[in-house]
């Protein structure tokens, strides 16, 4: 992320009432990391409908291996959960994400606002 965005946005700018740890995790995954834009797109797609990796890759136009990596990171942070085994795995948003999706929405809105100012 560009330095000027980081100067305008930080975890203190998130007004949503949520534990600080949740804000920090969301901030790291959806703002600071290189894969943040793709993770936002993946989570937005999963909010609409549970999907498997291949469906996400096709729908979002992101390489399958990249989808696989991002889902692994999101699962490790308890934001997505998988249902099924091996080839039948479907991903959906986790209860943790559902309970804190207003933090996600606020982060996305702030990022869009900053991008519009550019």
The reported pTM is 0.84
Give the pairing type, strands 90-93 and 80-83. Answer: antiparallel
Domains of the chain: 20-109 (1.10.10.10)
Residue 89 CA to residue 96 CA, distance in Å, equals: 20
Exposure string of 26-63, with b = 16+ CB inside 10 Å and e = fewer, is bbebbbeeebbebbbbbbebbeeebbbbeebbeebebe
CB burial readout 89-108, b (16+ within 10 A) else e: eebebbeebeebbebbebbe
Higher per-residue pLDDT: 36 or 113: 36
Q: Model confidence over 21-73: pLDDT tens digits?
A: 888 889 999 998 999 999 999 999 999 999 999 999 999 999 999 999 999 99
Per-residue pLDDT at 5 exceeds 60: no
Question: CA–CA distance from 81 to each of 8, 14, 52, 96 (Å)?
Answer: 32, 25, 11, 10
Q: Rounded mean pLDDT of the chain?
A: 86
């Amino acid at each position: 992320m560009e330095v000027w965005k980081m100067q305008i946005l930080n975890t203190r700018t998130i007004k949503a009432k949520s534990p600080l740890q949740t804000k920090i995790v969301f901030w790291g995954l959806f703002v600071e990391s290189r894969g943040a834009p793709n993770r936002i797109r993946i989570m937005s797609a999963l909010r609409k409908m549970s999907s498997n990796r291949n469906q996400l890759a096709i729908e979002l136009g992101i390489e399958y291996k990249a989808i696989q990596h991002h889902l692994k990171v999101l699962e490790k942070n308890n934001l997505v959960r998988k249902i099924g085994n091996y080839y039948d795995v479907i991903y959906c948003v986790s209860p943790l994400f559902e309970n804190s999706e207003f933090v996600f929405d606020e982060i996305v809105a702030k990022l869009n606002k900053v991008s519009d100012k550019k």
